[in-house]
Amino acid sequence: MAQSAVDGSSSVLFRVVNRVAIVTLSRPKALNALSHDMILILGAILRRCRDDSEVVAVVLRGAGDKAFCAGGDVRSLYEKALSNDRNWVQFFADEYRLDYAIHTFPKPVIALLDGITMGGGMGLAQGAWLRVATERSKLAMPEARIGLVPDVGASHFLSRLPAGAALYLALSGATLSGPESVSLGLADVCVPSEWLAGFEERLVATPRSRLDLAVPDVLHRSLHTVFGAGPQAETECSVPRLLPAINAHFAPSKAVTDIVQSLADSVEVEEDSVRKDWLGRTRDALANNSPLMLHVTRESILRGREAPLGECFRRELDVVMRCVEEGDFVEGVRARLIDKDNRPAWRPASLAEVDQDRVRHFLSSPWSESNHPLADIERNFP
């Protein structure tokens, strides 16, 4: 089937190749960042693919060679927040429903994480059955940098990691390479981008009899052969060497202030150059992020380890609502993305000034249980 735009939009392209739907996020100049229209279109595509017996799997990919998806359209959300336009709430609610649908989709979803995969891109990717990274992959959840909390299901998908690694990624916003993502469990395989570029030819050459939902084991093996069974990409992977330090400094028993202090103390005496560099970069990252959001993020990630998927999405929407209307989001976007002075005036300005009652407030819901925008997410999603 020829590739076509969906609903007149050129931002999402769709076609079916040998019973496999190929969905392309097509905003390469914006690093395939998600607009609200794209989210709605993707939801409609998932419904179509779910109900079409001739579609046995869905592939999510990004146009261009720089990004799978760099996140949500933060500038648009910023403008809505400034004008007191609450339509931004629907953006997040629809995005979370889309992510939930991928996590629970009845057919295999394959996410091709070639290039930048951050924020909303991670939301699309982490619910996929097969997550394929390359040597160009850059995975991260950097929300605390702009006064938000890692969302799009992060409190759920990071719960699959050791607690220390989950807190490290959420609090620091650290960027992982393809091999590092595999080592931590945020990607399943890492293949060369050149090999991945030839997946359509391999898909066309796959016998139709091997792409049958009635024989799931054969279907899964065939899809893995097409997308994930290539040579492994070879790039440096420092995470395994750093994992003991990550788990020690970001132990779940430590408060954020304790984490920052332990990083600062250790960097002064560390002799190993790799660990010393990591300690300094990580300390600096936390020092530049929103103090309030660091406290809220820690609590959100730890709570997510004990919560079902739907509850994680509801709580994340609660926190995002607080961040935009009462917190540091507007100031963070202004400083990082609009004026680019990189001097956000966080409220409060330091970790020591963060009131734990305010942290609990940010984790509370502004909606009653029955009126929550995601009250029915387990029953009603794309």
Note whether residue 312 is domain-resident. yes
Note whether residue 368 is domain-resident. no
Beta bridge pairs of residue 15: 22
Note whether residue 219 is domain-resident. yes
- Percent of the chain past pLDDT 90, that is, above it, reads 92
Note whether residue 372 is domain-resident. no
SS3 state of residue 1: coil
Residue numbers annotated as active site: 72, 120, 143, 151
Residue 256: domain span: 4-362
Note whether residue 378 is domain-resident. no
For residue 237, the model assigns a pLDDT of 74
For residue 1, the model assigns a pLDDT of 44
Kindly report, residue by residue over 255-285, the tens digit of the pLDDT: 999 999 999 999 999 999 999 999 999 999 9
Total domain count, the chain:
1
Alpha helices in 59-119 (DSSP H): 74-82, 87-103
CATH number for 254: 3.90.226.10
Note whether residue 196 is domain-resident. yes
Q: Which of 28, 23, 30, 32 is nearest to 5 (CA)?
A: 23
Q: Other CB atoms closer than 10 Å to residue 140's CB: what's the count?
A: 23
Note whether residue 168 is domain-resident. yes
**Global pTM?**
0.95
Distance CA 165, CA 251 (A): 9
Q: Which of 220, 212, 178 is nearest to 195 (CA)?
A: 178
Note whether residue 367 is domain-resident. no
DSSP letter at 379 equals T
Amino acid identity, position 121: G
Site of tokens 């982490």? 126
- Where the chain has pLDDT below 70, the residues are 1-9, 233-236
* E-state strands within the chain: 4-6, 9-17, 20-25, 57-62, 67-69, 109-113, 116-118, 130-133, 138-140, 189-190
Distance CA 120, CA 230 (A): 27
